[in-house]
Amino acid sequence: VQLQAYGGGLVQAGGSLRLSCTASGRTFDSAVMGWFRQAPGKEREFVAHINWIGGSTYYADCVKGRFTISRDYAKNTVYLQMNSLTPEDTAVYYCASSPYRRPSPSPNQYDYWGQGTQVTVSS
């Protein structure tokens, strides 16, 4: 599975961004798509995930109510709509694919990763 993430950028606090991630290749190996982020000096942390089949979602507490993950099954694309952004959301955001239907929110549950896209929120 190859993943291409895009849509990052610079935004002021309180603003919004939408990230996209398109999957290609052996997409049938992917059961769940997730978004993670990594700020400088910090570990990679889970943000949200969505099941390709059924569309069930799961969010980290720190983004619940502000971020929305969705997917377009026909386009093999997953989106992360991020609203009410704060400087604490600044990080490189990665999309990832998991073969598990109910992966735990840990990077080791995901076997394919996109290249990452930078999100910077200014105060």
Question: What pLDDT digit, counting tens, does each position of 87-98 carry?
Answer: 999 999 999 999
* Average pLDDT score, the chain: 96
Query: Which of these ranges, 26-30, 56-60, 92-96, 119-123, has the smallest mean pLDDT?
Result: 26-30
Question: What pLDDT digit, counting tens, does each position of 8-55 carry?
Answer: 999 999 999 999 999 998 887 889 999 999 999 999 999 999 999 989
Cα–Cα distance between 13 and 29 in angstroms, integer? 37
pLDDT of residue 28: 79
Cα–Cα distance between 61 and 72 in angstroms, integer? 24
pLDDT of residue 26: 81
